[in-house]
Amino acid sequence: MDIYEEHLDEATFLWGQWERALVSPGYNFSQTAILEQRLLSHLDGLTVGGTPVAHELLRPALASAEPLRVSAALWTMLADPGSMEPSEATQLWESTPLEMLAPLQRAIQLSWSARVGEAVLPLLKTQEASRQAMVLEILAFRRETPQASAVELLHHPAPPVITAALRGLQPLPRAFLQGELHRLLADVRTDVRTAAIEAGLVSGSREAWAVCSKEVGVPTAAGRKLLVLQALGGNERTVQRLLESAGKVDTQANALWALGFSGQRQAADVCLDLMNQKPLAALAGEAFSAITGLKLEEPYTISAQEDWESLPPLEEELEHPLEYRPEDDLPIPDRTAVSNWWKEARKEFAPGVRYLRGRAFTIKGLLEELDQGPMRRRHVYALELAIRSQGACMIQTRGFSWHQRKALAQAHIAQTRLPASNFFQLLGE
Closest by CA position to 352, among listed 340, 361, 344, 343? 361
For residues 369 and 254, the answer to whether their CB atoms sit within 8 Å is: no
Segment 85-133, tens digit of pLDDT: 889 999 999 999 999 999 999 999 999 998 999 999 999 999 899 999 9
Confidence (pLDDT) at 177:
77
Q: CB pairs under 8 A, 24+ apart, for 408-414? A: 408/367, 408/370, 408/371, 411/367, 411/370, 411/385, 412/367, 414/389
Q: What is the pLDDT confidence band of residue 313, given thresholds at 50, 70 and 90?
A: low
* 311 or 204: which leads in pLDDT: 204
For residues 191 and 163, the answer to whether their CB atoms sit within 8 Å is: yes
Strand, helix or coil at 156?
coil
Q: What is the pLDDT confidence band of residue 304, given thresholds at 50, 70 and 90?
A: low
CA distance 390 to 411: 12
- Percent of the chain scored above 70 by pLDDT? 95
- Percent of the chain scored above 90 by pLDDT? 79
Indicate the DSSP class of residue 155. Answer: T
pLDDT, mean over the chain: 92
In degrees, rounded to 5, the angle at the alpha carbon of residue 407 between the alpha carbons of residues 117 and 283 is 100
In this structure, is residue 320 part of a structural domain?
A: no
pTM: 0.93
Confidence (pLDDT) at 235:
82
Identity of residue 427: L
Q: How many CB atoms lie within 10 A of CB 302?
A: 18
In this structure, is residue 340 part of a structural domain?
A: no
Cα–Cα distances in angstroms (integers) from residue 183 to residues 61, 139, 178, 187, 208, in the given order:
46, 24, 9, 7, 11
Q: How many CB atoms lie within 10 A of CB 224?
A: 19
Query: How many structural domains comprise the chain?
Result: 1
In this structure, is residue 401 part of a structural domain?
A: yes
Q: Which residue range forms the structural domain that includes residue 408?
A: 362-415
Confidence (pLDDT) at 308:
42
In this structure, is residue 408 part of a structural domain?
A: yes
pLDDT at 208 over 60: yes
In this structure, is residue 318 part of a structural domain?
A: no
Cα–Cα distances in angstroms (integers) from residue 263 to residues 69, 239, 369, 416, in the given order:
41, 9, 13, 21
pLDDT at 316 over 50: no
pLDDT at 335 over 90: yes
Confidence (pLDDT) at 324:
67
What's the half-sphere exposure (Cβ side, CA atoms, 13 Å) at 271?
A: 33
Confidence (pLDDT) at 213:
87
Confidence (pLDDT) at 320:
46
Q: What is the pLDDT confidence band of residue 333, given thresholds at 50, 70 and 90?
A: very high
In this structure, is residue 409 part of a structural domain?
A: yes
In this structure, is residue 382 part of a structural domain?
A: yes
CA distance 421 to 388: 9
Instruction: Provide the β-strand partners of residue 301.
Output: 333
pLDDT at 315 over 80: no
In this structure, is residue 366 part of a structural domain?
A: yes
CA distance 126 to 331: 46
